């Protein structure tokens, strides 16, 4: 089957790539584009390790076709820090030990960022329900929830 | 050994050395690695729970364009069963060679029967479909009760129990006195039978590897595992390539919990790479992970405990049947050896039975066996305490093991911290807090509180480290254990503390098999215990060198030089008046002063102390829906010394979350064809963020006297008491006890709707 040509924007950079019509966005990111920060934990939309944003909307890149990125803005974990300046969420995850093995971390950060953009002052319950699509088997979520709440508070104070 | 006392970094919540890579998506996990010329491997798996393999025809698959190699069990080194056990750690290679690829029989659905490498994943998958396997389907059994029936289909004919072919592959017992005698002295005796379902470790990263084999046999493995040395040894044994030709490079590991302590893909990928001459990458799907790796045992346990009126346990008997899956090796030692250990019991018999059945071979899961045993024992203890009208924590205190108690599994305890965990639980704000609305109500949402304790052996074992001072006066530590939950942070704290420098000047690297000395698995809660010992000794050697160098420069005796706050100083004014020489200054002078500064140490570390924990759990049960939610949880544990409190708490919280999943929802469900029916995260329901409350931790610190920093293992104890704590809380809420896990909504409703049966018991 002939490959499809896709023109998109990834982390603010114009990007073109070829893919099979059946490739997922996660396949394209990890394979063709060599952006391996997004992880595959399930390929069925249940773990959130592959979370990215499509035009600021949080999506599982394993559930989206690569061709669907045509003309849209994709953001991944690789675009979260600004140069050598970490995003406040990344900094807080480090300070508060909100990661253990780190395999869920990219997805958690992308999802938390999307939450704080939508709601800069989420309650604990809102954080928990928003992140319910991101599985973490190591942390028991406690430190992740605290890190997101604390980042939100600091970002509001600025 | 010097015990560090000033504590600038030990006990601090420093930023872990590998953290930046992990929050920016840079960290390289096994599936992130690629190589020029790389091709893809895929596994063909048995659809049957039990089938003789009459023949395999791979001709059509090999003819498919794009296919580069096919392997079957013929390509894997055989360890004949009659020749007896060939042990690698706790694994018998006779089972390992049959687990990575079915030999004469397929023993579970998902058992590999062939593997293919092709230029794309899709072609490899297509080729698997073209392989023709002639199966003779055999009867099978999955559940313990079925597998131990006299007429059960036998998985391994050679295995005998009581002189007859059997699925019972082994029995062990721990014994103290004659229990019949003990039970005679009891005023209250309670005996119950419990079952648990198999549950998966559930690491978010599926197994993955990338392997290159050069024509001269030099092999490089990048893989996700809990031990690169285990990967090297097993791959070598199963492929025949000498260990010295295999370089196993540890990729970052995305969770393991015991499940990544054996190999599944590496021998197959190595053989495919060897045959094809191309680097081969293999990544499991989530479904493959669920069907063909892990999980831990399902179980059936009977526990009988007898106590006197004044609350002293006099006798106990536990019988623990654990599923091994397709090959012998269920964690009966953990179940029979740990569950009574927190208590001082004069008459005791604890027996474990290892039962084979047609499901995937079990793998270690966090304190393997101990949570299963503790669930049964701690629930019966709750009933005994209630019968005696005693507070459950007071009952535990009254019977607690302490220094001098002879443990069920043999040793006499040194100074241990069990009592302190119970006292801390009792004095916690949680235990004192009212349960609030809902307690004792007949309907709606009912609340209850439960407690439970647990023990895990903890381990030492082989560890190696190399510490080098860089030319600019910083430090590189190399150890041989994969960092699964932040151990690099603990090592950086310790090394910085000893040298008296900022922890950010210490970089911690996990070495590959050909660059650092042998180091055993990341498992058994052993890594920080063992690696900090070898890092400490290496660093002490370096400090000795630094003192000698300063002494030479000052032309005084090395004994007259002390190392403090990152610099050499004269011990006292009589030693001479010299400006301190810093690590950096001494490093710069190294070429002229004897050369590079570095030291390595290899040890078989001894002196690991067991770990104890006591947990308090509050639940709220919606009696209309049958949903039990944990609404408050406190885990207390004797952690020896918290080198990095953030990651110690993380271990406690992570273990608790897994236990809550095991207690309330997680289980393997089988179809009537004997296949796993819920092999994905949608139907195998692990706790998500909104299922859990914040998880409070109380770290009791009774330092291990045999460790330079007082470290005890912490990673496994946190899972041990959880299921019992949740079950006891649900009992407290409903007045009904659950003898089977998980306590999922349909099962809760079933018990709630059958009030008479409970009353009749
Ligand atoms: S890999 Fe996309 S949600 Fe799990
Ligand atoms: S840190 Fe390991 S899965 Fe979240």
pLDDT tens per residue, range B259-270:
999 999 999 999
Listed in sequence order, the residues at least 6 apart from A13 whose beta carbon sits closer than 8 Å to its beta carbon are none
B574 contact partners, CB below 8 Å, separation of at least 6: none
- What number of CA atoms fall less than 13 Å from residue B585's CA on the CB side? 12
Q: Listing from the earlier edge strand, what are the strands of the sheet with B105-106?
A: B105-106, B51-57, B132-137
The residue whose CA is least distant from atom 4 of ligand 2 is A136
Instruction: Enter the tokens of residue B48.
Output: 């049957």
Q: Look at phi and psi of residue A45 and say left if phi exceeds 0, alpha if psi is from -120 to 50, else beta.
A: left
Quick one: pLDDT at residue B1?
Answer: 39
Indicate if ligand 2 lies below 6 Å from the C-beta of A108: no
pLDDT tens, residue by residue, B403-453 = 999 988 889 999 999 999 999 999 999 999 999 766 555 668 999 999 999
Looking at all shown ligands, the one closest to residue A111's CA atom is 1
Q: Find all residues with CB under 8 Å of B390, minimum gap 6, and list them.
A: B311, B398
The B residues from 201 to 220 touching A (CB cutoff 8 Å) are 201-206
Atom of ligand 2 nearest to the CA of A138: 2
Per residue in B208-252, pLDDT (tens digit) is 999 999 999 999 999 999 999 999 999 999 999 999 999 999 999
**CB A59 less than 6 A from any atom of ligand 1:** no
CA distance B299 to B277: 45
Structure confidence by residue, pLDDT tens digits, B507-557: 999 999 999 999 999 998 999 999 999 999 999 999 999 999 999 999 999
Give the whole-angstrom CA distance, residue B195 versus residue B297.
11
Distance in angstroms (rounded) separating the CA atoms of residues B427 and B671: 47
What percentage of chain A carries pLDDT values higher than 90?
98
Q: Give Cα B675 distance to the centre of its chain.
A: 26
Which residue, judged by its Cα, is nearest atom 3 of ligand 1? A45
Q: Report the residue of A140, A144, A146, A150 to disrupt the B interface, i.e. the one with the largest count of B CBs within 10 Å.
A: A140
ipTM for the complex shown: 0.98
Which of the two residues, B5 and B198, has the higher pLDDT score? B198
Please check whether residue A86 touches B, CB under 8 A: yes
Instruction: Name which of B640, B647, B611, B702 is nearest B492 in CA terms.
Output: B647
Indicate whether this model's pTM tops 0.95. Answer: yes
Contacts of residue A127 in chain B, CB cutoff 8 Å? 689
- Measured in Å, residue B243 CA sits from the centre of ligand 2 at 32
Strand B313-325 and strand B299-307: the pairing is antiparallel
Question: Cβ of A51 under 8 Å from any chain B Cβ?
Answer: no
Q: What is the pLDDT of residue B3?
A: 44
Q: What local confidence, expressed as pLDDT, does residue B760 receive?
A: 43
Give the CB-side neighbour count of residue B487, counting CA atoms within 13 A: 28
What pLDDT does B761 receive? Answer: 45
How high does pLDDT run on average in chain B? 96
What is the per-residue pLDDT across B616-657, written as a single tens digit (0 to 9) for each? 999 999 999 999 999 999 999 999 999 999 999 999 999 999
Is the separation of the CB atoms in B689 and A127 below 8 Å? yes
How does strand B581-582 pair with strand B87-88? Answer: unpaired
CA neighbor of B189 nearest in space, from B300, B345, B317? B317
DSSP B566: T
Are the C-beta atoms of B467 and B475 separated by less than 8 Å?
Answer: yes
A50 in ligand 1 pocket by Cβ < 6 Å? yes
- pLDDT band with cut points at 50, 70 and 90 for residue B756: low
DSSP-based three-state secondary structure for B729: helix
Find which of A101, A110, A127, A128 to mutate to test the B interface (most B CBs within 10 Å of its CB): A101
- State the pLDDT at residue B753: 86
pLDDT number for residue B7: 79
Is residue A80's pLDDT more than 60?
yes
Interface membership of A127 toward B (CB under 8 Å):
yes
Instruction: Compute the distance from residue A52 Cα to the ligand 1 centre, in Å.
Output: 10
pLDDT at B526: 93
Write down the number of H helices and E strands in chain B.
21, 30
Number of H helices, E strands in chain A: 5, 5
Say yes or no: CB of residue A109 within 6 Å of ligand 2: no
Contact (CB, 8 A) for B78 and B318: no
Instruction: Search chain B and give the residue with CA nearest A105.
Output: B23
Q: How far is CA B691 from the centre of its chain?
A: 23
pLDDT at position B2: 42
Atom of ligand 2 at shortest range from CA of A101: 2
Q: Where are the beta strands (DSSP E) in A11-79?
A: 13-19, 51-54, 57-60, 73-75
pLDDT in tens, A86-143: 999 999 999 999 999 999 999 999 999 999 999 999 999 999 999 999 999 999 999 9
């Amino acid at each position: 089957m002939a490959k499809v040509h896709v023109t998109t924007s990834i982390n603010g950079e114009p990007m073109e790539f070829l893919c099979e019509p059946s490739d997922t966005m996660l396949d394209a990111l990890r394979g063709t584009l060599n952006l391996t920060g997004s992880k595959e934990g399930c390929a069925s939309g249940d773990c959130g390790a592959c979370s990215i944003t499509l035009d600021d909307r949080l999506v599982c890149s394993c559930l989206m076709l690569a061709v669907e990125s045509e003309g849209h803005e994709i953001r991944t974990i690789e675009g979260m820090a600004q140069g050598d300046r970490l995003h406040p969420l990344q900094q807080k995850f480090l300070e508060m030990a909100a990661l253990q093995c780190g395999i869920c971390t990219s997805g958690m950060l992308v999802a938390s960022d999307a939450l704080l953009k939508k709601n800069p002052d989420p309650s604990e319950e809102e954080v928990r329900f928003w992140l319910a699509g991101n599985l973490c088997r190591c942390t028991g979520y406690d430190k992740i929830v605290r890190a997101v709440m604390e980042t939100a508070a600091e970002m509001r104070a600025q | 050994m010097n015990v560090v006392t000033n504590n600038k970094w030990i006990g601090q919540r420093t930023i872990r050395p590998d953290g930046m890579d992990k929050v920016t998506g840079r960290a390289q996990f096994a599936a992130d690695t690629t190589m020029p010329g790389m091709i893809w491997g895929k596994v063909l798996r048995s659809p049957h729970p039990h089938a003789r393999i009459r023949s395999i025809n791979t001709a059509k698959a090999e003819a498919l364009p794009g296919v580069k190699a096919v392997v079957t069990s013929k390509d894997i080194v055989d360890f004949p069963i009659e020749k007896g056990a060939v042990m690698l750690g706790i694994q018998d290679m006779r089972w390992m060679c049959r687990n990575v690829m079915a030999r004469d029989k397929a023993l579970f659905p998902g058992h590999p029967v062939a593997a293919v490498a092709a230029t794309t994943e899709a072609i490899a998958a297509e080729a698997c479909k073209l392989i023709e396997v002639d199966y003779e389907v055999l009867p099978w059994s999955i559940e313990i009760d079925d597998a131990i029936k006299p007429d059960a289909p036998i998985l391994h004919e050679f295995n005998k129990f009581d002189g007859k072919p059997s699925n019972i592959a082994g029995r062990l017992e721990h014994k103290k006195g004659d229990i019949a005698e003990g039970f005679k002295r009891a005023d209250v005796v309670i005996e119950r039978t419990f079952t648990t379902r198999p549950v998966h470790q559930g690491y978010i990263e599926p197994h993955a590897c990338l392997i290159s084999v050069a024509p001269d046999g030099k092999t490089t493995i990048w893989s996700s595992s809990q031990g690169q040395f285990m990967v090297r040894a097993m791959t070598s044994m199963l492929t025949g390539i000498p260990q010295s030709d295999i370089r196993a490079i540890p990729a970052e590991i995305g969770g393991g919990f015991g499940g990544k302590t054996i190999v599944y893909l590496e021998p197959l990928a190595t053989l495919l790479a060897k045959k094809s001459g191309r680097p081969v990458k293999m990544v499991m799907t989530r479904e493959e992970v669920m069907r063909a790796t892990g999980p831990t045992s399902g179980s059936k346990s009977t526990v009988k405990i007898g106590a006197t009126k004044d609350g002293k346990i006099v006798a106990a008997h536990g019988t623990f049947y654990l599923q091994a899956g397709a090959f012998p090796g269920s964690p009966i030692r953990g179940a029979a050896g740990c569950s009574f250990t927190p208590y001082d019991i004069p008459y005791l018999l604890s027996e474990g039975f290892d039962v084979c059945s047609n499901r995937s071979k079990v793998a270690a899961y966090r304190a393997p066996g101990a949570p299963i045993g503790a669930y049964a024992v701690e629930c019966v203890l709750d009933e005994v305490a209630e019968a005696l009208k005693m507070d459950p924590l007071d009952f535990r205190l009254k019977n607690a093991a302490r220094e001098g108690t002879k443990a069920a599994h043999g040793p006499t305890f040194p100074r241990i911290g069990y009592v302190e965990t119970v006292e801390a639980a009792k004095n916690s704000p949680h235990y004192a807090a009212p349960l609030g609305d809902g307690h004792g109500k007949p309907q709606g949402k009912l609340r209850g509180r439960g407690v439970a304790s647990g023990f895990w052996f903890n381990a030492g074992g082989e560890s190696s480290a190399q510490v080098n001072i860089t030319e600019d006066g910083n430090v590189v530590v190399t150890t041989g254990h994969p960092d699964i939950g932040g151990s690099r942070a603990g090592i950086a704290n310790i090394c910085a503390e000893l040298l008296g420098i900022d922890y950010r000047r210490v970089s911690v690297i996990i070495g590959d098999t050909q660059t650092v000395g042998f180091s055993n698995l990341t498992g058994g809660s052993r890594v920080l215990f063992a690696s900090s010992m070898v890092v400490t000794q290496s660093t002490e050697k370096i400090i000795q060198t630094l003192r000698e160098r300063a002494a030479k420069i000052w032309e005084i005796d090395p004994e007259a030089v002390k190392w403090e706050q990152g610099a050499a100083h004269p011990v006292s004014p009589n030693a001479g008046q010299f400006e301190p020489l810093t690590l950096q200054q001494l490093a710069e002078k190294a070429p002229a002063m004897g050369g590079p500064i570095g030291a390595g140490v290899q040890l078989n570390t001894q002196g690991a102390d067991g770990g104890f924990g006591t947990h308090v759990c509050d639940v709220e049960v919606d009696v209309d829906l049958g949903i039990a939610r944990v609404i408050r949880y406190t885990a207390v544990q004797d952690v020896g010394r918290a080198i990095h409190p953030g990651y110690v708490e993380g271990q406690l919280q992570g273990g608790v979350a897994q236990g809550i999943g095991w207690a309330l929802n997680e289980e393997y469900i089988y179809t009537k064809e004997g296949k796993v029916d819920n092999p994905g995260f949608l139907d195998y329901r692990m706790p998500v963020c909104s299922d859990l409350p914040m998880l409070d931790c109380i770290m009791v610190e009774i330092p291990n006297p045999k460790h330079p920093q007082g470290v005890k293992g912490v990673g496994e104890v946190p899972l041990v008491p959880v299921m019992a704590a949740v079950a006891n809380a649900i009992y407290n809420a409903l007045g009904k006890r659950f003898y089977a896990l998980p306590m999922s909504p349909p099962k809760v409703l079933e018990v709630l709707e059958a009030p008479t049966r409970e009353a009749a018991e």
